[in-house]
Amino acid sequence: MSSRRPDPLAQVSDFEIRLLKLFRSVVECGGFSAAESALGIGRSAISQQMSDLEQRLGLRLCQRGRAGFALTEEGREVYQSTLQLLSALESFRTEVNGLHRHLRGELNIGLTDNLVTIPHMRITNALARLKEQGPDVRIHIRMTPPSEVEQGVLDGRLHIGVVPQVGALSGLEYQALYDERSLLYCAVGHPLFYVDDQQLEDERLNAQEAIAPTFRVPAEVQSHYQALNCTASASDREGMAFLILTGRYIGYLPDHYAQAWVQQGRLRALKASSRYYDINLAAVTRKGRRAHLVLESFLDALAEA
């Protein structure tokens, strides 16, 4: 787009809001092709509507072509403004609907990875109850690292998150959900897989190549990793599982997440009576948040699950 829009944007109509929602989906999907299934329309229609939005704003929002999809600097700023606008609209709709005491609107949840295998299923059961109370509620789940979950709750993009509680951030409230135990594992093919725990000396165990997390862990947990010979790292528990399953590394995984591989004979815990740590998983919400009937109903369901 060679020139800017000469006049300021006079108003934001329903049509612009619809285009901005499409823009948000394209950004979060990472491009036009990836957004086709999420939006239910073809790439040419997405491209045309993006062009309409750029024309109405007088700004070039993204680069697209053989080099791939990328936001311009103006596109990144418009995306952040779009998130704020849509969040404000959702808050308004939720407050008005709350006057009728009928559950409508959205619930945006951020989760850290690999919680679905926790046997208690408090999150799943609470979501089921929420849908029973409000069939029209739209639930959106985002799987992101814990720090991004907390930031999303702080800036209003997420209504609630579930994260390992490493340290309470100001501006957030934490509600304990689970105690999660992590054990030290190796996979079939690793030299220690068939070594009996009673014959496994700590010196030999600590000398094995191991995996360190790049995500935050409590100070008392860090000592477990400092004792190991960490030569690899992973940003989440799934990444750690990938490396452990190569049979070349040892590493800590939540016991509920590793259980299926243990039953298949692909993983074994090493010295489970001493090589473990526990972390509390908590639901996190923003302090001083506005009344949100859907969120409050979900929190009630979590408390009862």
> pLDDT tens, 63-73?
877 767 889 99
Backbone angles phi, psi at 139, to 5 degrees: -105, 130
Class of domain 179-278: alpha beta
Average pLDDT, the chain: 88
pLDDT at 140: 94
The per-residue pLDDT for range 290-300, each reduced to its tens digit, is 878 899 999 99
The per-residue pLDDT for range 236-245, each reduced to its tens digit, is 889 999 999 9
pLDDT at 98: 64
The per-residue pLDDT for range 51-63, each reduced to its tens digit, is 999 998 989 998 8
Contacts of 193 (CB under 8 A, 6+ apart): 186, 187, 247, 268
pLDDT at 223: 93
Indicate the domain borders of the chain.
14-85, 101-178+281-304, 179-278
Residue 254 has pLDDT above 90, yes or no: yes
The CATH number given to 14-85 is: 1.10.10.10
Please tell me if the domain spanning 14-85 has the same topology as the one spanning 179-278. no
Contacts of 123 (CB under 8 A, 6+ apart): 111, 115, 162, 177, 302, 305
pLDDT confidence tier of residue 10, bands split at 50, 70 and 90: low
Tokens of 202: 């700590």
Q: What is the average per-residue pLDDT within 74-78?
A: 93
pLDDT confidence tier of residue 173, bands split at 50, 70 and 90: very high
pLDDT confidence tier of residue 1, bands split at 50, 70 and 90: very low
The residue type found at 51 is S
Q: What is the average per-residue pLDDT within 13-30?
A: 90
Q: What is the average per-residue pLDDT within 138-164?
A: 90
CA 261, 264, 270, 275 torsion-angle sign: positive
pLDDT confidence tier of residue 3, bands split at 50, 70 and 90: very low
Q: Tell me: domain 101-178+281-304, CATH 3.30.450.40, correct?
A: no
pLDDT at 4: 52
Tokens of 104: 């409508």
Q: What is the average per-residue pLDDT within 249-257?
A: 95
Q: What is the average per-residue pLDDT within 169-190?
A: 92
The per-residue pLDDT for range 99-138, each reduced to its tens digit, is 556 778 899 999 887 777 777 788 899 999 999 988 989 9
pLDDT at 215: 83
How many Cβ atoms are within 10 Å of 67's Cβ, its own excluded? 7
pLDDT at 303: 86
The per-residue pLDDT for range 202-221, each reduced to its tens digit, is 999 999 999 999 888 888 89
Percentage of the chain exceeding pLDDT 90: 55
Cα–Cα dist 253/247, whole Å: 15
pLDDT confidence tier of residue 154, bands split at 50, 70 and 90: very high
pTM: 0.65
